[in-house]
Structures are given as structure tokens and as C-alpha cells.
Amino acid sequence: MIELNATHDPALTSWVASANGGATDFPIQNLPFAVFRRRGSQEGWRGGVAIGEQIVDMAAAVAAGVFAGDALAPARAAAEPTLNVLMKMGPKPLSSLRKALSQALQTGAAEQALLQECLVPQSQAEYGLPCQIGDYTDFYTSVHHATNIGRLFRPDNPLMPNYQWVPIGYHGRASSVIVSGQDFHRPRGQVRAPDADAPVVKPSARMDIELELAVFIGQGNALGDPIGIDAAEEHIFGLALFNDWSARDIQPWEYQPLGPFLSKNFASSVSPWVVTLEALAPYRAPFTRPAADPQPLPYLASAAHSASGGFDIQLEALIETPKMRQTRSAPARLALTNYRHAYWSAAQMVAHHTVNGCNLQAGDLLGTGTLSGPTLDAACALIELTSGGKNPIRLPNGEQRTWVEDGDTISLRGWCEKPGAARIGFGECVGTVLPAKA
Ligand code: MN
């Protein structure tokens, strides 16, 4: 586990003024990575590090000679058009780079003169996916989500008997993971009405969101070599926001017996900025479950994991309807939750995914599943918030929503905040649903 070090010192400030003051998602204690270029340009994609409202252009910074020693190789990797090489290096080189960036961006740093020529305002940037995602696996780690969904189908027995023993997941599709800001068309698919004899093909009428976190894999494992629970986090590069869009009318017709398919793989939005586990170190949390529940099997448990396998991350989903956009009213909150409510941790997802010898690779994405909390206002999908579509949500401007409508924009946000540590955030994960193609 990564310990606290000088880079987490809440007293640190940066010569980049917008990084200071506590309001930004990207103070000097965060330093997340993305892939970017200037919007509308033909520039090459390259890695960048967020600092306040700016991006440290890693390609420019490497060319300017800012990095040396242990930080040079990871800095070069961070300058590439994808972060896969950096991810594959593992936590030590990543930590060396973080230390160098922290020192170079601090108030009074000798590197300021060189490095300020390497800044690009975030307002001028467009983002790519942070890495080439080889595989995407989606889990189901919120017991509250699993119970809420299960109750819709099996009121007397909402939670399946395997849930407390095995981290449930399915293999998703990497090709349709899109970066925040990229819009997509409402999917079509087979839908069968409850009283109909046959299905029809039509645009989904039950578009939903799933507020999740993306866990990006760093160094992988060889085929046949499971990753133990206490080594699992050495294989995690970092976390990002993730909206796993879902078509709730396509899903029930197609999902038995092999699980979700086309209801899930038309688009999944990920935020551009990946927050490293090292940045999250001040926000570690104990990870335990009620004593009356079955406790995790030995390969999913350890003393260290119980002590600090969780993360205290606040998560929020907001909706902006076309009418809100026209009237310039603020987006409305749909849900507010915390990653601490998860029943299975990020480390447990990695240990479980590899217990059979399955090999993970740098850049693989593990979705946490919808991170609903224990109360209805912490439910992170519309299917829960509307009780399966029965109770529409009333928005502050008088509009109602049961499902996501054409033109609606969904934004996810995430942040960590507590006394004695710098507030850090994840930026945004934004997506707008366009009308189905004719
Ligand atoms: Mn999902």
C-alpha cells in the first residue's frame, strides 16, 4: 500500500495560481493523467497532467528537459499518445514521476521558468481516451444496487445467494468505451413488451445511466498467475469516473442465460483524468462488512485490506435537460453517493478476476458497477430512482424524467474531502444522448 509522503502535504502550493485555494479538483496534491491536444488542432495526442486550470504538456516538458533520474523514463512514457506504457511500468516509476512533478510545480520551484512554457489551458484542450483499453469487465460491487434491482424482479428474495460470496461481473466491450464529451445516438434493439407475442426492433425507450468508477489496470499478470489480494493494488494505475449507459428495455429480453449484451455495449463514457492510487492515499478507508454476513474467502481477504481497502470518494450524477440549457438553469442532481458503500473493493475485483489465472493487461478497465448507497437519494441509476420506471423524478424546474430523453446531458463528478488533507477531484464525465439514427 502507498503511504503518505511529501506530495500529499496539504500545505503545499503551486506557482500555477489556479491550483491553490481549495476549490479546484486539481491542486498540486492530485496530479492526475490524461491524453489531450489543443481542440480543433491536428496536433498529436500526448499525455498531460492536470494542475489547477492548466495541463502540463508532458511531451513539451520532456523536450524542455524538466525531468531527470528516476523520473525520466516514466515522464517519457507519460508523453506518449496513450498512457499504456506508463501504466505498465507499475507504481514505483509512477511515484518517482509524481514526486518530480510535485517538486517542479511547487511555489518557488526552479523549474517554473521552463515548465510554464509547457502549460496548455484545460479550456483549450480536447481529450482522448487515456489509454488503449484492451478489455473491459464490469462488476456489480454495490450490494445496495444489487438489492434494489433484485427487488424489482424478486420482491421476496432480492439478493441472489451468490452475491455475498463471489464478486459478480461480466465481460463488456472495450471498443465502445468513449471519452467524456463524446455524444452518442440512442441505440436500437430488440424489445419485447410484457404482453406481446413477439419482439420488435426499435430505439430504446428506457435509457438509463450507471454511476460507476473505472479502475484502470497498471502492470498486468502472466496468464496462469493469480494476483493475491495484498498485491492487487500494485496492479491498479488509478481511478476515473465512468457512466455505463444501459438500455433497460433491451436488457430484460436479452440477458438470460448469458448476461448483458447489446443493452450495455453501445456506449460507456469515461472521464479523461485518471487519479492515481497514490493521490488517493489520504482517502483510504477501512473495508469491512457486517459481522453477520458471510466473510470473504481467504483469497479475497487480508488484515491490510480490511484496514484500508476502501476509498472515501464522493460521487454525484447530474442531469441537464434541453430546457435547462435553454433557460440557463443549473443541472439538477440525480444522486449523491460514496465509494465506501461498495460491498466488494477494487483490490477484490483484481484478485477475483485473476484467481483462475486470467491475465489482466495494462490499460484494461474494470467497472465497479453502479455505486448506489443505502438510501434512495444515493441510488445511482434511474431504474432504482424511479422504482423500475413507475415513479418519475420531478426536477427542480418542474420537468419530469423517468428515463434519459434525447438531448439530455448527464454529468458525473467525484471528489475527496476531509480535514487534514487537500481536497482532490476527478473532473467530469459528460455525455449527451442524441436521437436514434434513422
Ligand atoms: Mn454497469
Output the CA 174–ligand 1 centroid distance in Å.
13
Output the CA 379–ligand 1 centroid distance in Å.
13
Q: How many CA atoms lie within 13 A of 302 on its CB side?
A: 17
Strands (E), 102-251: 119-121, 125-128, 136-139, 169-171, 177-179, 184-185, 188-191, 200-203, 207-208, 211-217, 236-243, 246-247
Q: Where in the chain is the domain with CATH 3.90.850.10?
A: 136-434
> How many Å apart are CA 5 and CA 9, to the nearest integer?
7
> How many Å apart are CA 86 and CA 94, to the nearest integer?
7
Output the CA 370–ligand 1 centroid distance in Å.
6
**Cell numbers that stand for 118 in this block:** 509547457
* Partner residues linked to 374 by β-bridges: none
Output the CA 313–ligand 1 centroid distance in Å.
18
**Cell numbers that stand for 23 in this block:** 476549490
Amino acid 216: pLDDT:
98
**Cell numbers that stand for 87 in this block:** 501504466
Amino acid 3: pLDDT:
84
Q: Where in the chain is the domain with CATH 2.30.30.230?
A: 6-128
DSSP structural state of residue 25: S
Amino acid 194: pLDDT:
87
Are the C-beta atoms of residues 359 and 433 closer than 8 Å to each other? no
* Partner residues linked to 214 by β-bridges: 240, 367
Is residue 353 flagged as an active site residue?
no
Kindly give, in sequence order, each residue whose CB lies less than 8 Å from that of residue 154, ignoring residues fewer than 6 positions away.
Answer: none
Sign of CA dihedral 354, 171, 311, 53: positive
Output the CA 369–ligand 1 centroid distance in Å.
4
> How many Å apart are CA 416 and CA 139, to the nearest integer?
23
Sign of CA dihedral 40, 122, 97, 229: negative
Reduced to 3 states, what is the DSSP secondary structure of residue 263? Answer: coil
The residues of the chain scoring below 50 in pLDDT are none
| Domain 6-128 indexed as CATH 3.40.50.10440 | no
Amino acid 87: pLDDT:
98
CATH number of 136-434: 3.90.850.10
The sheet carrying 46-51 orders its strands as: 119-121, 54-57, 46-51, 33-38, 125-128
Output the CA 243–ligand 1 centroid distance in Å.
8
Dihedral class, residue 327 (left if φ above 0, else alpha if ψ from -120 to 50, else beta):
alpha
**Cell numbers that stand for 411 in this block:** 454529468
Q: Which of 8, 144, 145, 235 does the annotation list as catalytic? A: 145
Amino acid 1: pLDDT:
62
> How many Å apart are CA 222 and CA 234, to the nearest integer?
14
